[in-house]
Amino acid sequence: MRKKQYYLFVAALLISQVLLTACTSLIPMTAQPTPTEYVRPTARPTATVEPTEVVEPSATPIPTISITNSQLRGLGITVRHPFVENTAEFDQLLRDFNLNNLWGIHVSGVASGGTEGLKYDLLDGKVHDNLVIGMGHDLLAAQPGTQFLAVEDFARDARFGVNGYFDPQSPFAAISPQFEDLVSYTIPLAYNAGILLYNSTWAQELGFDSLPADREDLRDVAQAAMEANLADDNDYNNGTGGLWLSQAPQSAVSWYGSFLTQMQDPDFAPQPEPLLASFYFLRETFDASQSWIGMEPLPYRYFSDRYAIAVEGTLESLKYQAAYQSSGNFQDGWTTIAYPGNGSSGKSLVVVEPLSFAVQRSNPNAELAAWIFGIWLLEPAQQARLVQMHGLWPSTGDPATIAPGYASAQPFWAAALESTPTIMVVPNTAEWASKRLVFQDAYARIYNLDAEYFISIIDVFDETTRINLEQQP
């Protein structure tokens, strides 16, 4: 799907446990590998299986990948990455790998214009690098035009596999990648999350000393903030004060997930009952002026100037809000919270989308070299350095443990995890790249329709999802 087709599609819508072991660095300074023959992992078949043929699955042994120095010595590969604002920092990381890896692999970096720029580069077929770092759904949506390697054999390998990289005690243990029945093309490096930014200073002034425990608590705080703005001498802030609605895909999916009675919906189908319940809740808060939609597309001024006591955001937005706060005389303390659940369960929710890497098909040695660099990025030291660049949560363990300095300097960064919310990960499929936009459009419609027509949104949702699946390569 090219960019033009993608835009046309969006316009038509209007709408990954392994036991923790000691993680041995792939970059020892003295040890040398034992020269043996490199054996390429078995390629995944691409031919279509006849409908009448039944193939019984067979047990998959853990392979052992062997290499010689001569096969990788001096091999040059490239990595495409989205860290356009931190290119110098990423290049320094590359230099450290190039100087210290056992095999003399040399990695060069190529920056795209953030995750969005990378998405369109992928769709336009402009990405030919050996390793690609981007949002998981964008990587998958680029296939088959961009040929990524199925990585199960690499991932299960006794030496070069991922065993030990993902902490089974971390908040993300339940969503760590598994390599069993499904074909896997991506490995998560980090997670972006939908969260709420919350003005704790203002809330305390209004009499709320505790963070909202559920949705009704959030409504109470929003109501008090709305009334405070209505009663002050500033006529321009009337109708504001409550929850600022971003209408972004992450917020739409988060509201839907927060209404699921059972937190198991791997496909985000969605289910009509929780979808409608979330529609009614949001519309009620909007009609009561407990939530509102601003003219400005970004909430930084609204949040800092007390036009909103809470705003919908993502981990990516935190650094920009922090920069805005520090640019003026803004004294309010603030934090982040998960999307609240109902009063009976009291379980809050965080929906995450993975920033991942994928190995592009080329030749066996280049593929292995790219994989070696990719899993090097999973080591704690590199994970901490990457946090400084992307501001997301590391996929391999507790954020405050992986990047304690970053967490200490920005206490709001991982605060949403302190309530031990349920963690849901979006589907690791190509379809999610467009399906998330269907969610976004569906939730945007509820503020312009009477509640009696909400059921029609579900019909449109189902139809656009069907069309989307049919248009997938």
| pLDDT per position as a tens digit, 131-140 | 999 999 999 9
* Domains identified in the chain and CATH numbers: 3-9+63-191+353-425 (3.40.190.10), 194-351+430-471 (3.40.190.10)
User: What pLDDT does residue 466 have?
Assistant: 73
User: What pLDDT does residue 27 have?
Assistant: 52
Query: What are 224's two structure tokens?
Result: 């008090």
Reported confidence tier of residue 423, pLDDT bands at 50, 70, 90: very high
Residue 68 neighbours by CB under 8 Å, 6+ apart: 33, 35, 36, 37, 38
User: What pLDDT does residue 69 have?
Assistant: 64
Greater pLDDT, 438 or 50: 438
Q: Are 33 and 67 in contact (CB under 8 A)?
A: yes
What pTM value is reported for the model?
0.86
3-state secondary structure of 449: coil
Alpha-helical regions (H) of 40-190: 69-72, 87-100, 114-123, 136-141, 152-156
User: What pLDDT does residue 21 have?
Assistant: 36
Residue length, the chain?
473
Q: Are 351 and 263 in contact (CB under 8 A)?
A: no
Give yes or no for residue 13 having a pLDDT over 60: no
Tell me, what DSSP letter sits at residue 163?
A: T
User: What pLDDT does residue 64 have?
Assistant: 62
Range of lowest pLDDT (42-46, 180-184, 438-442): 42-46
Span 398-412, average pLDDT:
97
Q: Are 102 and 73 in contact (CB under 8 A)?
A: no
User: What pLDDT does residue 269 have?
Assistant: 79
Give yes or no for residue 366 having a pLDDT over 80: yes
Q: Can you spell out the DSSP letters for 216-278?
A: HHHHHHHHHHHHHHHHSS-GGGTT-EEEEP---HHHHHHHHHHT-SSS--TT----HHHHHHH
- Cis bond before residue 297 (omega within 30° of 0): no
User: What pLDDT does residue 55 have?
Assistant: 35
- Give the DSSP H or E segment for 194: strand 187-199
Q: Are 355 and 426 in contact (CB under 8 A)?
A: no
Residue 234 neighbours by CB under 8 Å, 6+ apart: none
Reported confidence tier of residue 179, pLDDT bands at 50, 70, 90: confident
Among residues of the chain, what percentage have pLDDT more than 70?
82
Span 427-449, average pLDDT:
92
Range of lowest pLDDT (220-229, 307-316, 327-336): 327-336
In degrees rounded to 5, what are phi and psi of residue 183?
Answer: -75, 130
Span 322-329, average pLDDT:
89
Span 312-337, average pLDDT:
93
In degrees rounded to 5, what are phi and psi of residue 155?
Answer: -65, -30
Range of lowest pLDDT (49-58, 142-151, 286-295, 431-440): 49-58
Average pLDDT, the chain: 85
Residue showing tokens 């593929």: 367
Q: Which amino acid is at 454?
A: F
Query: What are 9's two structure tokens?
Result: 């599609």
Greater pLDDT, 64 or 404: 404
d(CA 415, CA 406): 12
- Give the DSSP H or E segment for 393: strand 393-394
Model confidence pLDDT, tens digit, residues 219-269: 999 999 999 999 999 999 999 999 999 989 999 999 999 998 765 556 787
**Cα 391 off chain centre by:** 11
Model confidence pLDDT, tens digit, residues 28-54: 433 333 333 334 333 333 333 333 333
